[in-house]
Structure 1
Amino acid sequence: MPPRVHIVADDLTGALDSAATFAQRGARVRVACTPADFATALASGADVIAVATGTRDGGEADAVAKARIVAQALEGRDGLLFKKIDSRLKGHIAAELDALVPNGASLLVNPSIPALGRFCSDGAVTGAGVEARIDVAERIGRAVTVPDTPDQASIDAQLPEKLEETTFVGAAGLAEALARRLWPAPQMRALPRPGLPALLAIGSRDPVTSAQIDALGDVPLAEAPNGACPILPDVPLLLLRMTQGAKAINGAQAGAAFAETVARAHAQLRPATLFACGGESAAALLARLQISELDVLGEILPGVPVARCANGPPMLLITKSGGFGPPDTLVKLVKFLVNG
């Protein structure tokens, strides 16, 4: 039986993305939406337990405090530790790693995602969406060697023979390699079909997601400037999008307002399927709906995980990071929803 895998991510979409790689191969996967929910998730008996600390965009002190909560919950537990990091090395990576893993521990660090055209070369991240080379060791805060990664096979080959002696630090590419190693004979499970009514809540303003929205055409869309939308259409398929308001407010305020708006839309629509785009928006929304744990079932599209709420309203949750996916990603998703 494979060792249990513990995934620590600094945002919810990252936790779900990396966890879905394991679910795709038949592992039982539980995600805790906050560090406070992690201990309960650990008691679930799942093969893979992930936790979202929600610390990518906050202060370093908060990131360290939450990483320490996770470290305390993991103390004395057997299994592998996977520190999921942003492939462009955003967030408080070095500080969180220091709170989770002692200096001198053996690390395998590789933030590449070859499937997205993002690679490691000469110790730096390069490729799609990377304007200037990003030095990995500098962002990790430790003297690590990062092998060149021209493709997924090269990541697979970097895994050590004894996995238990290493802490893994990376993104979807490294998670995929680890999942393949631990579950070499995948047990494919049929995913539940998402259907209507459906609510698409998009808090990300990334140009990638904007292009995906533009490709949708006639899907009913309600805009929420600074997160607020007083009047919501009464339709079975609604796309609710946070936009820039007339007055500038900080991201936390806008996110809280958007979570409140989406909660009202949820109460009105009672969706069977909820799609959330953008890590902060997804986390704020689930907190507002008092959903603390998710069972990850797999991917409905490449890089687009689907999960069932382990508590709270009975619905499917589909998530996507703001900067991910080809222009027709939402078009394909809507086809799934409409066709059932």
Structure 2
Amino acid sequence: MLRVLVLADDLTGALEVGAKFAATGLSVRAAAAPGLPVNNLQEQTVLVIDTETRHMPPEQAGKRVFELARAGRNAGCQLVYKKTDSTLRGNIASEICALADAFPDAPLLYVPAYPKMGRTVRAGVLYVEGIPVAETSFGADELNPVRESHIPTLLSAACSKPVFSTTVERLGASLEAGIYVCDGQTDSDLEAAAGKFIRLTLRIAAGPAGFVDALARLIDLPRTPPARLPRLKRVLVVNGSRSEVSIRQIQHAREHISTALDSNGVAIAADNSGWVILDAAESGSDHEDFARRLAKIVRGILEQVKLDAIAVFGGDTAYAILESLGRPDLKPVGEVLEGVPVSAVRRKAANLKGDGVLYLISKAGGFGPADVLCRMQRELTRG
């Protein structure tokens, strides 16, 4: 029976949150189908839906989130969680307000900090590595520039409900309806906020994957031993992110991992060295066209080359690839590194030859060390 519904605005975020729940032994399914019928909401303990609203107009994004959140409320979900980008990209205000509107009498706890990723919140201001987010490179993001660092100001401009800037210590035993933006600078702050959420028996929350990490371990739900990460020998690496961070990561990895231009090259490189980077130039195309072109190339490779997994940088590209495979559901397994989830797709559900599963390793573009890909390879090739 469905107990937790998570709504994420892109695929990498959805899988990241799904992995947090799966790592605690909860049964999780992730759906990359934003039009998912609401009668599917009773099939598992945790359902994560990629609403694909990151680049939508705010009103349209809010409407989609409202409808799904209301369906979760009507299904009796113990928790409905709005996964937000850790740097405030996307329709943060309209989607959080929509969740609050779907539960008109309930307080919503928003914990935007993610200390492990260098995201902290003081007096309602989001800092990335100590700098207000709007003053970082995220303020000049090509698709979703962040203009406001003070989160209560951002939300108040779009929400009819009151917005409060608070700390865990100031959260009382009884909260009126509204949105509570909670400061956080350490993992302990997130754990304290999760504990307060559970003790107050709240039902709606928002934040990046860091807060989910704390919540998932505390929420009272049946569990089984979590699955182990797979050993992956033949992996195709695809970068669809324009982020300078991802570009540097791929440049660093090229010193250690082979590259290939097409299916023949991928097959040879996979036979020789296992992991291979797809060498696909952007050629000046716009972001969506580039993602679709990459997806078509990857689909063709998967039809001709038997691979254990694909590792994809960038949420839009990950979604385009999954869409090219018919948007099959995914089963989150866990994280190979912080913020780098591993999920399983049944090959038959993706219309690929053979039995078993194809693994998807996904990462949002804007974070991680330069050697993240080499670290992923080391962890997933150990046997």
TM-score scaled by structure 1?
0.87
Distance 1:164 1:243 in 2: 50
In structure 1, how many angstroms separate the alpha carbons of the residues matched to 2:221 and 2:116? Answer: 19
Report matched runs for 1:288-327 at 5 Å.
288-310=324-346, 311-312=349-350, 313=352, 314-327=357-370
- Among 240, 245, 262, the alignment partner of 2:298 is 262
Distance in 2 (CA, whole Å) between partners of 1:55 and 1:194 is 33
* Partner of residue 215, structure 2: 178
Number of equivalences: 331
Once superposed, what is the RMSD of the aligned Cα atoms?
Answer: 2.7
Q: 1:58–1:231: structure 2 CA closer, same or farther, 3 Å change rule?
A: farther
- In structure 1, the partner of 2:69 is 71
Structure 2: 5+ residue stretches without partners: 136-147, 166-180
- CA displacement, residues 275-305 of structure 1 (integer Å, 9 cap, x when unaligned): 1211010011001011321111111222211
Residue of structure 2 aligned with 1:239, choices 237, 257, 277 = 277
Shifted more, 275-284 versus 132-141: the winner is: 132-141
> Secondary structure of 1:315's partner?
strand
Match of 2:313 in 1: 277
1:294 and 1:233, CA in 2 relative to 1: closer, same or farther beyond 3 A? Answer: closer
Could you tell me which residue of structure 1 aligns to residue 164 of structure 2? Answer: 144
Q: 1:318, 1:163 → 2: CA distance?
A: 36
Q: Secondary structure at the match of 1:293?
A: coil
Determine helix, strand or coil for the equivalent of 2:188. helix
Q: Is the 8 A contact 2:72 2:80 kept in 1?
A: no
Distance 1:19 1:305 in 2: 8
- Residues 49-97 of structure 1: per-residue CA shift (max 9 Å, x gap): 1101111123234423432442353251112111011111111122223
Alignment of 1:102-181 (within 5 A): 102=101, 105-128=106-129, 130=133, 132=135, 134-141=149-156, 142=159, 143-145=163-165, 146-158=181-193, 159-162=196-199, 164-181=201-218
Q: Is 1:191 the equivalent of 2:228? A: yes
User: In structure 2, what is the Cα distance between the partners aligned to 1:232 and 1:57?
Assistant: 34
Contact 1:89–1:139 under 8 Å retained in 2: no
Contact 2:237 2:310 in 1 (8 A): yes
- In structure 2, the residue matched to 1:19 is 18
Contact residue 266 and residue 278 of structure 2 kept, 8 A = no
Distance in 1, Cα, partners of 2:24 & 2:210? 15
For 1:327, give the aligned amino acid: A
- The alpha carbon displacement at 1:184 in A equals 9.8
SS state at 1:316 partner: strand
Q: How far apart, CA to CA, are the structure 1 residues paired with 2:112 and 2:232?
A: 34
Match of 1:220 in 2: 258
Q: Is the 8 A contact 1:212 1:326 kept in 2?
A: yes
What CA deviation, in whole Å up to 9, does each residue of 1:169-190 have, x standing for no partner?
A: 1112211121121169986534
Q: CA deviation at 1:13?
A: 0.7
* Paired residues of 1:195 and 1:336 also in contact (CA < 8 A): no
Cα distance in 2 for residues equivalent to 1:230 and 1:303: 29
Paired-residue identity, %: 30
Which residue in the other structure is 2:178 paired with?
none
Match of 2:47 in 1: 49
Q: Distance in 2 between matches of 1:179 and 1:275?
A: 25
* AA partner of residue 108 (structure 2): L
User: In the alignment, is the contact (CA less than 8 A) between 2:229 and 2:334 conserved in 1?
Assistant: no
How far off is 1:31 after superposition? 0.7
Once the two structures are TM-superposed, the CA of residue 37 in structure 1 deviates from its matched residue by: 3.2
Does the residue aligned with 2:68 lie in a helix, a strand or coil?
helix
Name the SS of the counterpart of 1:299 in structure 2.
strand
Q: 1:90 to 1:269 in 2, by over 3 A?
A: same
CA distance, structure 2, for counterparts of residue 88 and residue 268 of structure 1: 38
Distance 1:40 1:193, change over 3 A: farther
Label 1:181 to 1:38 Cα distance change in 2 as closer, same or farther (>3 A): farther
How does the TM-score come out when normalised to structure 2?
0.78
Q: Is residue 209 of structure 1 aligned with residue 246 of structure 2?
A: yes
Q: Secondary structure at the match of 2:378?
A: helix
Q: Partner residue of 1:226?
A: none
Residues 295, 190 of structure 1: alpha-carbon distance in 2 compared, 3 angstrom cutoff: closer
Describe the shift of the 1:144–1:232 C-alpha distance in structure 2 as closer, same or farther (beyond 3 A): farther
Between the aligned partners of 1:287 and 1:335, the Cα distance in structure 2 is 29
Cα deviations across residues 144-176 of structure 1 (Å, max 9, x unaligned)?
A: 323331211112212334454341011122111
2:295 partner letter:
A
Measured after TM superposition, the shift of residue 250 of structure 1 is 2.4
Counterpart for residue 96 of structure 2? 97
Partners in 1 of 2:198 and 2:377 — Cα distance?
43
Mapped to 1, the partners of 2:198 and 2:220 lie a distance apart of 15
**Partners in 1 of 2:34 and 2:200 — Cα distance?**
25
Question: Quick one: distance in 2 between partners of 1:5 and 1:11?
Answer: 18
How far is 1:4 from its partner? 1.5
